[in-house]
Structure 1
Amino acid sequence: MASGGRGVTAAFSLGTGLGAGLVVYLLLGWWPALLAGVLASALACQWLAERYRTALQQVVQVAGEIAAGNMEARANPASFSGELAALATALGEIAQRQRAALRDLVRERDTVQAILNSMSEGLVAVDQVSRVIVVNAAAEDMFGIAQEAVCGRYILEVVRHTGLDACVTKVLETGEAVAEEMALFPGQPNSYRLQVSPIKQDGERVVGAVIMVQDVTALRQLEKMRTEFVANVSHELRTPLTSIKGFVETLLDGAVENVEVSRRFLEIILAETERLQKLIEDLFTLSWLESRRLEVPEEGADVGVAVGRIVELLGPQAEAKEIGLAMEIPPDLPPVRMSPQFLHQVLVNLVDNAINYTLPGGRVKIAAAVCGHEVKLEVQDTGIGIPPEDQARVFERFYRIDKARSRALGGTGLGLAIVKHILENHGGRVSVASVPGEGSTFTCFIPFPG
């Protein structure tokens, strides 16, 4: 095809020269004819060269735009002939293939970034000299950074923590993964688990590292709570069992022959057994409340009826301690979004606590009122009160302000935790306000049905 184009050009130039020479020869003779032919051929060649030069410039310009990233640039093959038309066609095909390849790369990059951003763990990737190359959304939030601002910077500049930098350096040098747990931010108690893994090329050469960062603070707190819970349960079970075992051994050693002593010991064993039974029941109740969502009956519970039964049930206990027990319940109070069984359990725990921690001559009052779309239920006492530093923790399992007094009164340390879980499972809440030496007020908010 190239030789064909050159042949057409040569033929055109030769034909133009011969034609002009023939005309002059007929008019003026052979010598002027020769000069005229040469001159005409030169002019024709110049015209063709200029035409090709302009066309070639257009092709070069299009090629430059494609190289600069403009994949839409095109040279129209119909505007050229011969080799230039073929070149224009080839450039268009190259640009089209490159545009398709670039589109696939962008789609793949966006997919990878979307996957990284969907991760709850922070992810940072660095190259072989610890310069940041990728940061996902979780890491941006965790470290307060933006990927555009930190890419290309060293990891120690981005996260100023020598422990993290040391882990990355070790992985880049050894090619082996490293897992550590550390606090990354001074002044914050949060714990973070770091998993640094090498990025290998051809299975051997380390070309970077991936840092996975997971906030394990909540997990560690749960582990601590579980450990404390097991320790508390063991202690609460061991104490009455030790007492029971001791009294049984004493009876077996001969004390059973003394009717008065044996009766007193048996009464203590019965009390400790009842305490164990109550502890186990409370543990089962709390476990049941924490493990499932409660179904609330549509009709709800009548607060006035529930409070009346509590006063009837615990009235003798209050009277025995010379404590006044009163109720202040409006007659038109709407029902609450809670079953009568759970409302009874909430009131029993709160009122029983109030009576136990109120000195003789004191008062306990149960009051209720409508507050927005909820019923506000209060249990007030004039008891010993709760120190400010303990008020935020009284709803924790096994938390006692006065452990000896609580055990002497038969408490398990689970009553207020059960109250909190019942209310939260029904969409309610509970709080406490107290002044040491003056008394406490436990306030519950329980929504209406529907």
Structure 2
Amino acid sequence: MADNRRTWGLILAILGLLTLALGLKAWDERQVAERAFLTQLDAESKMLAARVSSRSDAAQVVLRLVGQNDLTTSKAAGIANGMDALVSLRDAAQSPPGSRLGDAAAVAKALPQGETGMFLTTHGDIVFVSAAADGAPLIALSPISATFSKPENARLTLRSPDAKFSFGGAYLSGAADIAPATGPSIQSGPDFVRAGTACSPVSGSEVAVCLTVARPLLSASDILRIAIFGLLIAAPAMAILDLTRRLSRRQREILAQATHNQESDRILGLVMRGAQAGYWEWSHTTNTVFFSDGAAVLLGFDRSGLLTLDDLLGRAPVEAHDRIREAFTKARTIGWLQLTFPAVAPSNRWVEMRGSLSDDPVSGEPVFGGIMLDVTDRKQAEDRIRAAERRLRAAIEGFAGPFALWDARKRLLYWNRAFANDFGLQDTLRAGMSHETMQIARAGAVLVERQSSEDSRTTLIALRSGRWLKMVERPTPDGGLLTVGVDVSENIRNEEELKKQQEKMKRAALDLQRSEGKAEALSRKYSEEKAKAEHAAFTKSAFLANMSHELRTPLNAIIGFSEIMMNELAGPLGHASYKDYSRDILTSGQHLLDMINDILDMAKIEAGKMTITTQHIDPVDPVDAAMRMIRRKAEEKEIELILDGAQNLPDIDADHRAIRQMVLNLVSNAIKFTDRGGKITVRVEQRGPEIYFGVTDTGIGIPAEDISRLGQPFEQVSKTKDRNTDGTGLGLALTKSFAEMHGGRLTLSSIYGEGTTVAFYLPIGGPGSLGEQVIARDVA
């Protein structure tokens, strides 16, 4: 222990002496460098002073020639380079104070009469003064910048007792203000900067030229010398320390490396097992493959280690052998491998091999190495998505009418066969086609196209094949567009036939008026035409009912499958866009189904097929159920929804479902036409032998001229304050019809801009219980 301390003491003493010697050598070299720097700086300042002195001599010669009238002022300006003003002192004194000439005149006046000299001004001008032959002094101005160019790495200062002017770099604050009394000097400043200053007087004047050059406290050569000295000290020290530590350090490194390798192997094994992955290496020179334990388990091998490529082919089905061989052959050219294939029993997994070419650290030979992953779940998810897409496509293809889906930029995403066939676009349609291009392309198949008077987004199209299509376009939540068409050829023909019958009836009525003698025959003909018209109306209603039934069947399939895909009941869809498309299809399908249900109910009522089932019920119960169903829609618009039901109401003979539907229709209309933050009150009370159901809102109200039209099928308010109100106009008509089927009635009152109250009265005893009293009151 003592020997070690003596050894270390001797080593430290030797290093200390070496450090001291090198430090003294560095200090001496630095002093020599600074003396050389100051000598050079002093020589440069004297050279600059000599330049100013020669400029002064030249200026005096020019001034003397001008004063003797031997030289004009303009010629003198051309000869004297750098002089931009040459005037008499008397003229210069007339210049305003603070100007260049004014300040030059003020300085020149201090010179005794008849003497010449050179001065500085605060404007940075050198002023040369000379007396002319007649005793009138002349002065000449020369900017300092005309004599000296702006130094880049130094600061130049010219000063006299009355003025000072500096330009160039400012490396050390105040260094140029100090004129060394005994020659050049070096001053230290902030930020590790030292500045050398040298001043030289200009002969024949009180002007001095000072040059200041900044240099870092440690120059590059100083740092280099320090580094060299440090290396000279560090080299023996490191050699000594290395000799004493080499053996012990080598032993520690071997132990640490062994521990690190064991820990890395353990962690890699845990990661591979947790990720259901393995490692493989393939030597294309020997055509052998090494499989780790995890890779052997994925392929179903009973052991790991070195195997052949034929062993790998034995774990894959026969139909995949050619693809595997091709992937390995291609890997030799491109330098990487990616392959997915199913493994046969007992593994029964889908595996994926990924790897690239690298050099073996032991043999140095190029080998392919990578990982093997279990991708069975991903493969099954992809299969489920493809199956769901096939089911959805089959449902849409089963829809008899045209169907198309567009994205937010109105580019075609999907269409069914009917869309292409109806418009003759079998060879034209392609994914990504714009909506405008499709409109132009289908023009050849369209004979007549007109917008529906009931809905601006509904178009009636007559095809050249003789069929009529009702095309409805609705926006999707993501900004896209859904196009659905329905064949209404029969309906259009019935309407045309009805119009023809009405025209015949009008002509028959006119003929009856002209010929009184044919009154009996005309009356009989009128009855026949009326029967035909009623039959046509009945046929239209029956067609609407049958058409709605036919439309609901494919729509239910579309809604069901889109809801399954949106909720991912059969598994994840993968890409997020598929879920958005499913939601768009579900929303549009539900909206279309609601419209069809309203049309179906109206058609049943007009055809006399709608029936109600009355029973003793609490009148408040169906109202409460309807409000619970629609309350969320009111909360989305921040509308206050209030149920005001009277106490101790008697039971009523009525259809529970019909009352709930009537309240839903009225409250839905109220929410639609009430601004955010409004209020809707639903009141239920007894008024004589009837129960009053009223819905009052604080919405936009109804113009007086429109109130008489409402309650008829497909009638809507024309003035809606530019509000977007989707609907068919069947809500009030259905409510009125349901009320009349109960033996009741519908009332409507409104103040435009303040609110609306829509109510229906139902007799407590059920249909027919009021008898002639209600009929007489309605007639009155």
Higher normalized strand content (fraction of residues): 2
Q: TM-score, normalised by structure 2?
A: 0.27
- TM-score normalised according to structure 1 size: 0.44
- Rg larger in structure: 2
| Structure with higher RCO (Cα < 8 A, 6+ apart) | 1
